[in-house]
Amino acid sequence: MKTNTDNINIERKYTILLIENNMNMQRLLSNTFLKIGIKVTPVNDVIEGINILKDNDYDLIITTLDNNFLECFAFCERIRAKYPITALPMIGYSSKINAQLLHNALSVGYNDVFSLPFDIIEFNFKINFLLEAKKMSDRIKLQQNIIETRTQVFKMNTHDLKNPLSSIFSLSGIPISSFNDVDEIAQTMSVIHNASKIMTSLVNTNLEFLNLTSDTIKLNKETIDVVSLINQIVEINTPLAQNKNQKIIFKYPAIDCSILSDHNKLYQAISNIVGNAIKFSPFGKNIWIDVTKDKTIKIKIKDEGPGFKKEEIDNVLVKFGKHSATPTGDEISTGLGLLIAKQIINLSKGNIYLESEEGQGATFILEFPIDMGQ
């Protein structure tokens, strides 16, 4: 096998799943690909390959077609049932390649087949072509998801705008002479005001969501004191909680808790979660916010609301996930607040988790890496 790696250029480190039961060949291929920036995960058979694919993402699959080619063909057909040919490329190799083997491999969904021994430079051009095609396929899929999500949000919120807009249109057209007294005018104006408030909230949420799903979204990152930020959020949200006779209890350590993020966007994310806790908690309940610092900085936001059913938990932080919780004080809820918060947190290299039991409230856990610039 020719392994001259001069003048080979790989833009980034790709990951390859290698199915090969010959240990010497495993080591040879792994070492060869490592020299050109490709990390290989070797497994002995297709069963092991299927199992490892359940929990890992790979850019390319390479399989031997010596001895066990029928198993590899069946494996390829299984992959093609789930992934298009550009979404997860597959290459086979054999020391006994012939026209029939090549025809069968391409028929079941292999992108290419090469013969041993091979020239690594020639092989590099082949895999670069396939990996660039995969990269383009991933971009197209991402754009399709963004378009579908935006369309769904637009449809959903446009539908929700119909009722308040109809109320404003109808009530604003009533002649002043039709009212008997000032109280009737005040009541009508209150309905118009509330309908306008709902529409403004829907429009603002639409704009926030569309901005966050834009490819050009950037965080203006800076060192942020989490405790100071949450104190601001508590101060702003306390009147809303007091309207429902609720109390926000904030606990934090007497040490520096700084992370790297965009101040305004992180404020929005955490405020969305605190606001949701207020919205979905009954009157007279408490909301707890707890900050801790260990290897990471964790922010726990716990409420005494209805919580979520076990089968609902996975849906809460995904697009248009359905759950049974509803606001308890006629507040406006578009269903996008948590999704927006999750996107901001993820852009800040953080994670968000939900712990909940039906009837026992909900706890949202935000975890961030510590700002190493401290």
- 265 lies in the same domain as 288: yes
The answer for residues whose C-beta is within 8 angstroms of residue 267's C-beta and 6 or more apart is: 229, 232, 233
pLDDT at 290 over 90: yes
The residue among 164, 197, 217 that closes a domain is 217
pLDDT band, residue 4 (cuts 50/70/90): very low
Is the Cβ–Cβ distance between 60 and 79 less than 8 Å? no
At residue 258's C-alpha, the angle toward residues 255 and 263, to 5°, is 140
pLDDT band for position 326 (cuts 50, 70, 90): low
**56 or 156, higher pLDDT:** 56
Please report the pLDDT score of residue 33 as a whole number: 76
Integer Cα distance of 360 and 350 in angstroms: 26
pLDDT band at 322 (very low <50, low <70, confident <90, very high): very low
Q: Are residues 101 and 63 in the same domain?
A: yes
Same domain, 356 and 269: yes
Cα(3)–Cα(11) distance, rounded to whole angstroms? 19
In a domain, 247, yes or no: yes
- So what's the pLDDT on residue 303? 92
Q: Is the pLDDT of residue 44 over 50?
A: yes
Q: Return the percent helix, strand and coil in the chain, to nearest 5.
A: 50, 20, 30
Alpha-carbon span 267 to 225, nearest angstrom: 11
Q: Is residue 133 part of a domain?
A: no
- State the DSSP H helix or E strand holding residue 362, giving kind and residue range, or none if neither: strand 362-369
- Residues 178, 266 within the same domain: no
* Per-range mean pLDDT, top range of 51-65, 288-302, 309-323, 348-362: 288-302
Within a domain: 148 = yes
Q: Where a domain ends, among 167, 184, 217?
A: 217
Separation between Cα atoms, residue 166 and residue 199, nearest integer Å: 11
Is the pLDDT at 247 greater than 60? The verdict is yes
61 and 195 inside one domain: no
Tell me which of 153, 183, 217 is where a domain ends: 217
Q: Are 1 and 28 in contact (CB under 8 A)?
A: yes
H helix runs in 243-306, sequence order: 263-280
Q: What is the largest CA-CA distance in the chain?
A: 96
The answer to whether 339 and 209 are in contact (CB under 8 A) is yes
pLDDT at 324: 46
Q: Are residues 303 and 361 in the same domain?
A: yes
Residue 320 clears pLDDT 60, i.e. is over it = no
Domain assignment of residue 338, given as a range: 219-374
Whether 8 shows a pLDDT value over 50: the answer reads: no
Same domain, 94 and 176: no
Answer whether the bond into residue 282 is a cis peptide, omega within 30°: no
Structural domain count of the chain: 3
pLDDT-based confidence at 110, cuts 50/70/90? very high
In a domain, 84, yes or no: yes
Domain annotation covers residue 129:
no
Instruction: Quick: pLDDT tens for 116-173.
Output: 877 767 777 777 788 777 778 777 777 777 677 667 667 666 666 766 777 777 777 7
What is the signed CA dihedral for 120, 125, 130, 134, rounded to 10 degrees?
110
Same domain flag for 233 and 351: yes
Residue 288: the pLDDT is 94
Examine the domain organization and report whether 41 and 71 are in the same domain. Answer: yes
Does residue 194 belong to any structural domain of this protein? yes
Domain with 374 in it: what CATH number?
A: 3.30.565.10
Alpha-carbon distance 60 to 87, whole Å? Answer: 9
**Residue 363 CB neighbours (<10 A):** 18
Token pair 């028929």 is found at: 107
- CA-closest candidate to residue 296, choices 250, 349, 251: 349
Residue of 271, 342, 355 lying closest to 308 (CA atoms): 355
Q: What is the pLDDT of residue 3?
A: 42
* Cα–Cα distance measured from residue 224 to residue 68, given in angstroms and rounded to the nearest whole number: 56
Neighbouring-strand partners of residue 353: 365
| 314 and 373 belong to one structural domain | yes
- Output the pLDDT for position 315: 66
Is the confidence at residue 208, as pLDDT, over 70?
no
Specify the residue for token string 């706890």: 363
Is 126 contained in some domain? no
Res 131: pLDDT = 77
**Mean pLDDT over each residue of the chain, to the nearest integer:** 80
Residues 6+ away with beta carbon under 8 Å from 342: 269, 317, 352
Q: How confident is the model at residue 45 (pLDDT cuts 50, 70, 90)?
A: confident
Q: Give 137: exposed, middle or buried? Use CB within 10 Å, 0-12, 13-18, 19+.
A: middle
CA distance linking residue 21 with residue 296, whole number of Å: 41
Give the whole-angstrom CA distance, residue 257 versus residue 295: 11
Q: Is 6 inside a domain boundary?
A: no
Strands 247-251 and 221-225: unpaired
Q: What is the DSSP letter of 51?
A: H
Position 100 pLDDT exceeds 60: yes
pLDDT at residue number 249: 94
Higher pLDDT, 113 or 309: 113
Instruction: State whether 31 and 179 are in the same domain.
Output: no
337 and 190, same structural domain? no
CATH of residue 61's domain is 3.40.50.2300
What mean pLDDT is predicted for residues 304-323? 69
